[in-house]
Structure 1
Amino acid sequence: MNDDVRADLVLRGGRVHVLDAQDTRAQAIAIGDGRILAVGADTDIEPYIDAGTDVVELEGRAVLPGINDSHLHASWLGGMWPDTVFGAGGPREGALVHDDAQRREAILRAGEVIASLGITSYTEPGIGPGEDDGPTGSFGQPVLDLYRTLDAEGLLRARVNLLLVFGLIDGPARTQAILDGIRDADTTVRDPARFRIAGVKIFGDGIPPMRNAYIHGRYDDGTHGALLLDGGDDDEREAHLRTAIVAAHEAGLQVAVHATGDRTIDVVVDAVRRAVAQHPADLRHYVVHADLLPRDTAPLLAEAGMGATIQAGIAAVTSEWAAAATGGPVPTPDWPARALFDAGVPFTLSSDAPVLPPDWRTEIAAADRLLGPAADARARLHELLRRYTAVPAWQDHAESWKGTLEPGKVADLAVLSDDPDAVGAQGLPTLRIERTYLGGEVVYDAASAPIATGEA
């Protein structure tokens, strides 16, 4: 180390999970100017301490990289909280927010909730003019404008990646509106490390339990679902989806497509492969949900440089509903995760809050259950934790500066009451979030500002 370098903050005497590919562990971490200076044994960090250093004695507690929920509807979450779609309160009818004051309050409320869960980054997956007349009031252009305002005021309590939407959330879209939106998209921001407009969200289809996911086979009622883009028949709608994906790629925008049906997923992957072949670029397009991912398609995602974001908690709730709709057996209990693992696709775990609470602990526990017994439980836990930290940083094009606790990266941290290794994946929900740091600054402290986090 440079003898002149001194830490503003040191956390020592604990279990520091770097969550790099090598599964590095340490006792202590030194932080200066919002970035990680060093990790190592307590003795390694001692030289970074002087009279001005804030030293936190962990006393065996654990430190993880700040959690990154790669699919979290924060504006919607704040409008519903503490209710969730699958929770005791259930979905609400009509508008959740009616004016800018309520929208602002909803975003800020969501910020408090996610900070209390150790979340320091999230993707807001679908905000923009396509939802200006949407029923909830939670997704339109005014919400995007408020995000810009709150960022300028320094009031966002997490790093936000936002995807623009030019059609209704979970509803139909006009292809021309998507193309016009892509052409006119304003992605300029003050500081992309704090608030970034990453690209565009396209809703490809519905969901299998509702029989409106677009599938190769047939549902029990004889239908096969349909794409949500306009068109006179399946072929035209498929062509329109391909056109929209290629247009976004050529504009340099990351594309995230809600795609649950196997036929939708195949159309999306085909479109991305064509776009990348014609205009090579590392934009990291990805599939959202991927419920009925064909096993043969998974390697094609990897070849195209694509990712996926999937939700274990939702899969656990809905798999039998999907099986009833498709008239087949309950889908394989490891849902698409096993195929994605085997193909080497950089997929993330996420909550899709407020469908369920944005609690990564319960999501990882659910993922572990769906995957079944592990030959190496510690190695699996490490991989699942990375799907909430390092891999979403890749999705954000930010793996060089966040997502792991390596020197030089931002000091986004979650302090837990105990070591995840000590309790295992199934014990994660028993761990308390004791403190959350964003860029080395405390944004949540359980001792002084507890936040109710709703149902487990």
Structure 2
Amino acid sequence: MDGARTVAEALAVHGGTVVRVGTDAEVAPLIGPGTRVVELRGRSLLPGINDSHLHGAWLGTMWPDTLMARLAAAPDGGGFGDGGHGHDGHDHAGEGPALAALTTSAERRRAILRTGELLASLGITSYTEPGLGPGEDGGPTGCFSSAVLAEYAELAAEGLLRARVTALLLFGLLDGASSAGDLLHGLKGFEAPAEVPGWFRVAGVKIFADGIPPMGSAWSEEPYADGGHGALLVDGADPGEREANLRAMIRAAHAAGHQIGVHATGSRTTRVVTEAFAEARAADGRDGRHYLIHGDVLHPATLAAMAAAGVGLNTQPGIAAATAPMLAGALGADALAHAWPVRDALAAGVPLCLSSDAPVLAPNWRAGAAAAATRAVEATGRDQRLALVEALYAYTAAPARQDGAEGWKGTLEAGRAADLCLLDADLREVAPAALPEVPVAMTVLDGRVVHEA
């Protein structure tokens, strides 16, 4: 997964670090009496997978349940709830509570560690918790609170995490309202847990700008069936004031040195957020590695502006596949021409990360990569499929860049972290649609085997 997309024969690990990559003959001299040799025999070794948008504590309480499975099983097809995903912990598909509240340290630890075990079995060695903090301290589930944030830091310090975790702070409600005042207060008054190098880091801030198109809550250039255009979730007396407050929030978080991930789905929201990111970067020249989350509808001009400002896109191919008919129903079939344009994003030069948003979807990155490599927008004839190697890059090296860690993880190169995912197949011979069925044979984290089939 390096820039040249190199394929090698052999790799050597010592003390948590990749020390040599090359041919069998180049690596064999490093085999000593205490070396474990794993013969690949045609199987494929990848960098450890990085699910760059995954709610770990929430996943640990819900698994094996997922929100999309609940919606699909609902008699009426279900619904998404006010904010989009039902992150408030209530089951909007009519099946009762989705999870119990995390009220004690033991419960929080159990949820995080359960997720770590699950991810190890899937070859995932890094993930981003996209929104933990005081904005959700009064939330009904406890899955997104500052107590969960502190628990991650403590587990990391104790050496108990089964994955490397990056977190974003949350000063509003998850999938809900936020205010410029709350964010400014949080930036000044909230003390995030200290970094545990290599294992836990608070990278920045999460902002919810709008909802989602199927619920009519995304702020959209395209009109909904009722003639409306949705609205921002940010506080304000009118659309102009809400937009001004959103831009002010982005400026403030950038000026404070934070990376910013913005939940932005509607075409008007994605445009305005991109403009705000570009303005913030122009003010001081700093590349904050900011990114749009989901990015359901992105017009070509927005993609060009994202590329020019170095703004990334973090999106979920599985959600695109599952909800495209709902998006078309809300905004019209013509909106699909600009829906989840991952191929166009790469062509424009936008840094692209693929992720699961688990437990909205299952954290099966193989299914996500397959969806990205097989999806086409039939209604418009526009093909947005990625090559399989591009999808794999968006689950490994690209999210390492999002984490600001591309210098030490995300690729199989000498000097990088020995985070590895071994698949029981030769990916050069696997049809993308068959990838979800390829078993994960081994996961190595920091040079230690944490899963072996």
1:205 and 2:187 are equivalent in the alignment: no
Does residue 403 (structure 1) correspond to residue 407 (structure 2)? The answer is: no
Q: Match of 2:127, SS?
A: strand
Instruction: Identify the residue that residue 284 of structure 1 maps to in structure 2.
Output: 289
Contact 1:218 1:224 in 2 (8 A): yes
Q: Which residue of 2 aligns with 1:134?
A: 139
- SS of corresponding position for 1:72: coil
Q: After the TM superposition, which residues 89-128 of structure 1 pair with which residues of structure 2 at under 5 Å, given as runs?
A: 91=91, 93=97, 95-100=99-104, 101-128=106-133
Would the alpha carbon gap of residues 334 and 43 (structure 1) be closer, same or farther in structure 2, given more than 3 Å must change? Answer: farther
Q: How does 1:60-75 map to 2 (within 5 A)?
A: 60-75=42-57
Corresponding position: 1:34 with 2:41: no
Map Cα deviations across residues 331-365 of structure 1 (whole Å, 9 max, x no partner). 13972212211211011111111011011100011
Aligned residue number for residue 79 of structure 2? none
Query: Could you say which residue in structure 2 is the equivalent of 1:8?
Result: none
TM-fit CA distance, 1:184 = 2.9
Identity of aligned residues (%): 51
Alignment pair present for 1:53 and 2:35: yes
Distance 1:357 1:196 in 2: 24
Distance change in 2, residues 1:199/1:69 (3 Å) = same
SS at match of 2:68: coil
Separation in 1 of the partners of 2:195 and 2:373?
39
Alpha-carbon distance in 1 for matches of 2:436, 2:367: 6
The equivalent residue for 2:236 is 231
CA-CA distance at 1:330 after TM superposition = 6.2
Q: Does residue 366 of the first structure (1) align with residue 348 of the second (2)?
A: no
Q: Which range moves more in the overlay, 80-89 or 155-164?
A: 80-89
Q: 1:223 to 1:135 in 2, by over 3 A?
A: farther
- Asked whether the equivalents of residues 372 and 386 of structure 2 are also in contact (C-alpha less than 8 Å), the reply is no
Is 2:305 the partner of 1:323? no
DSSP-derived class of the 2:45 partner: strand
The residue number in structure 2 matching 1:332 is: 337
Give yes or no for the alignment of 1:82 onto 2:44: no
CA contact (8 A) 2:157 2:196 kept: no
Amino acid at match of 1:412: D
Q: Deviations over 1:283-341 (max 9, x none)?
A: 11000000011111101111111101011100111111111111344613972212211
What TM-score results when the alignment is normalised by the length of structure 2?
A: 0.90
1:372 to 1:326, Cα distance in 2 relative to 1, 3 A: closer
For the residue of structure 1 that corresponds to 2:375, the secondary structure is helix
Q: Output aligned runs, 1:215-294, within 5 Å.
A: 215-294=220-299
2:315–2:354 contact (8 Å) kept in structure 1: yes
Alignment RMSD, CA only?
Answer: 1.9
Q: For residue 379 of structure 1, report the CA deviation from its aligned partner.
A: 8.5
For the residues of structure 1 that align with 2:35 and 2:153, how far apart are their CA atoms?
34
Is the contact between residue 374 and residue 386 of structure 2 (CA under 8 Å) also seen in structure 1?
no
Q: Which residue of 1 aligns with 2:25?
A: 43
Residue 142 of structure 1: CA displacement?
A: 1.2
CA contact (8 A) 2:12 2:21 kept: yes
TM-score by length of 1: 0.90
Q: 1:33: Cα distance to partner?
A: 1.6
Q: Give per-residue Cα distances to partners, 1:108-166, cap 9 Å, x unaligned.
A: 11111111110000010000110112222210111111111111111110000000001
Between the aligned partners of 1:243 and 1:190, the Cα distance in structure 2 is 27
**Equivalent residue letter for 1:99:** T
**Counterpart in 1 of 2:304?**
299
Residue of structure 1 in register with 2:430 after alignment = 423
In structure 2, what residue type is equivalent to 1:401? Answer: W
- Aligned residue in 2 for 1:164: 169
Do structure 1's residue 175 and structure 2's residue 180 form an aligned pair? Answer: yes
Quote the Cα distance in structure 2 between the aligned partners of 1:216 and 1:333: 11
Distance in 2 of aligned mates of 1:383 and 1:350: 13
* Paired amino acid for 2:431: G
Amino acid at match of 2:13: I
SS in 2 for 1:400: coil
Secondary structure of 1:436's aligned partner: strand
Note if contact 1:126-1:139 (Cα within 8 Å) is conserved in structure 2: yes
CA distance in 2, matches of 1:131, 1:379: 36
- Cα distance in structure 1, aligned partners of 2:284 and 2:338: 38
Amino acid at match of 1:62: S
Displacement after TM superposition at 1:40 (Å): 1.3
Question: What amino acid maps onto 1:116 in structure 2?
Answer: S
Q: Distance in 2 between matches of 1:151 and 1:182?
A: 24
Indicate the residue corresponding to 2:448 in structure 1. Answer: 441
AA in 1 matched with 2:345: L
Give the aligned partner of residue 352 of structure 1: 357
Looking at structure 2, the residues matched to 304 and 348 of structure 1 have their Cα atoms a distance apart, in angstroms, of 16
Q: 2:318–2:367: 8 Å Cα contact kept in structure 1?
A: yes
Assess if the C-alpha contact under 8 Å between 1:94 and 1:135 holds in 2: no
1:21, 1:372 → 2: CA distance? 29
- The CA deviation at 1:270 is 1.1
The answer as to whether partners of 1:125 and 1:163 remain within 8 angstroms in 2 is yes
TM superposition shift of 1:188:
5.0
Structure 1 unaligned segments of length 5 or more: list them.
1-18, 447-456
Q: 1 CA distance for matches of 2:287 and 2:20? A: 30
